[in-house]
Amino acid sequence: MAETGTNLKKAIALLTAGELVAIPTETVYGLAGNALNLSSVTKIFEVKGRPQFDPLIVHVPGFAAVELYAQNIPRQAKLLAERFWPGPLTLLLPKKKIIPDLVTAGLDTVGLRCPDHTLTHQLLTSIPFPLAAPSANPFGYVSPTRAEHVEEQLGDKIQYILDGGPCSIGVESTIIGFENEALVIYRLGGITQEQIESLIGETILRTHSSSNPKSPGQLESHYAPRKKVILGDLKEPLLGHQLQDTGILSFQHDFHSPFQFILSPTGQLDEAAQNLFSALRYLDKLPINTILAETVPDVGLGKAINDRLRRAAR
Ligand code: TXA
Ligand code: MG
């Protein structure tokens, strides 16, 4: 079993020795290791059961560090970081040699992000290397938003979980890249497309690519619980029916089912995002076969929530 706590010294010592530590961020918990150490990075892929074609995000303490690991940094990248860092935005930038090819799965770009979490910020400013960290879940499963989620699934594979409480955003970072003059969003997340566009103008949304995914978070089936998830209108099938064996994931409405999770009784998208992955994990453990879920309003953070629900339903 992993130890869970807030002992920064212990986290620093383990990471410095090349070991992995689960770390809190505002989006989801990460499975972190020294991004410049091949043996640590190899361990990340092993512990997560992640194929090595899927690149890792590298976490830095601030924009100053970006120049150490990336080059030819577009002007818009700096603008975005100034506005949204620390925060749930990952910038894909041309990588420098110091970043191992294993981290980027051979791609010539590296995903860089400065997370907005006090403990993890202290950690990042106390070590002389950046942290590669995918979400701390087995590959393909729902991301963890609490220390207990990490313990349940990776507790026997790592030594320490830095406990930063429940994640305040609850969905992963938005991933943005720069292709010639175009700004491309590869994953919808904690910073909305609207927020980005109001700062730097039009973006292209390219969050689906099943054949040759540039970003495997684009894989059709991802973020999925073990139970079958069906996405649709809840009112039709549920009115007048007592569906045994079926759990309900609703946005706002109370269906008075013994097996339900209401994401936000007051209809707030940020609360729904915070609860989303806990809800899927909760429903996955109930004695049911199927999870019936509904989409949320498709604006702002709602787009990221709906993206995760659709992938969970594949
Ligand atoms: O919010 C987050 O981003 C969390 C926390 C821990 O920071 N991390 C996270 O990592 O969600 P992960 O590995 O679960 O998802 C990262 C996604 C993957 O789909 C990966 O393919 C994509 O980012 N990615 C990373 N580097 C990339 C690159 N150079 N080019 C394209 N996609 C990249
Ligand atoms: Mg992930």
Contact status, residue 186 vs residue 215, Cβ threshold 8 Å: yes
Query: How far is the C-alpha of 242 from the C-alpha of 257, rounded, in Å?
Result: 8
Nearest-angstrom CA–CA distance, 91 and 111: 5
Of all protein residues, whose CA lies closest to atom 13 belonging to ligand 1? 134
Q: Give residue 209's pLDDT.
A: 60
Residues 65 and 204 sit within 8 Å (Cβ to Cβ): no
Q: What share of the chain is helix, strand, coil (3-state, %, to 5)?
A: 30, 20, 45
Cα 263 to ligand 1 centroid, rounded to whole Å: 25
The total of other beta-carbon atoms located within 10 Å of residue 17's CB is 10
Nearest CA residue ID for atom 10, ligand 1? 134
Q: DSSP letter at 173?
A: P
Q: Cα separation of 97 and 86, whole Å?
A: 25
Q: How far is the CA of 240 from the centre of ligand 2 (A)?
A: 38
Count Cβ atoms below 10 Å from residue 125 Cβ, excluding itself: 10
Residue nearest to ligand 1 atom 19, measured at CA: 217
CB 36 within 8 A of CB 100: yes
Nearest listed ligand to the Cα of residue 108: 1
**What is the SS3 assignment for 61?**
coil
Residue 137, SS3 per DSSP? coil
The residues near 94 (Cβ < 8 Å, ≥ 6 apart) are: 70, 71, 72, 73, 108, 109, 110
Of 89, 90, 154, 219, best ligand 1 pocket probe by most atoms within 8 Å of the beta carbon? 90
58 alpha carbon to ligand 2 midpoint, in Å? Answer: 13
**Cis status of the peptide bond prior to 86, with omega within 30 of 0:** yes
10-residue block means of pLDDT along the chain (314 residues)?
97 98 98 98 97 97 98 97 98 98 98 98 98 96 97 98 98 96 95 97 85 53 83 74 84 93 98 98 95 96 97 90
Q: Counting Cβ atoms within 10 Å, is residue 138 exposed (0-12), middle (13-18) or buried (19+)?
A: middle
Burial letters 268-280, b for 16+ CB under 10 A, else e: ebbebbbbbbbbb
Among protein residues, the one with the nearest Cα to ligand 1's atom 6 is 30
Instruction: Find the residues whose C-beta lies inside 6 A of ligand 1.
Output: 25, 27-28, 30, 54-57, 88, 90, 92, 104, 107, 109-111, 113, 115, 133-135, 172-173, 175, 186, 214-217
Half-sphere exposure of 108 (CA within 13 A, CB side): 5
Query: β-strands 160-162, 3-5: how paired?
Result: parallel
Query: Which residues lie below 8 Å from residue 58, measured CB to CB, with a gap of 6+?
Result: 35, 69, 99, 103, 110, 111, 112, 113, 130, 131, 132
Contact 186, 172 (CB under 8 A): no
CB contact at 8 A, 36 and 129: yes
> Taking the model in full, what pTM does it have?
0.96
Calculate the alpha carbon distances from 81 to 75, 76, 87, 134 in Å: 10, 9, 9, 20
pLDDT of residue 314: 83
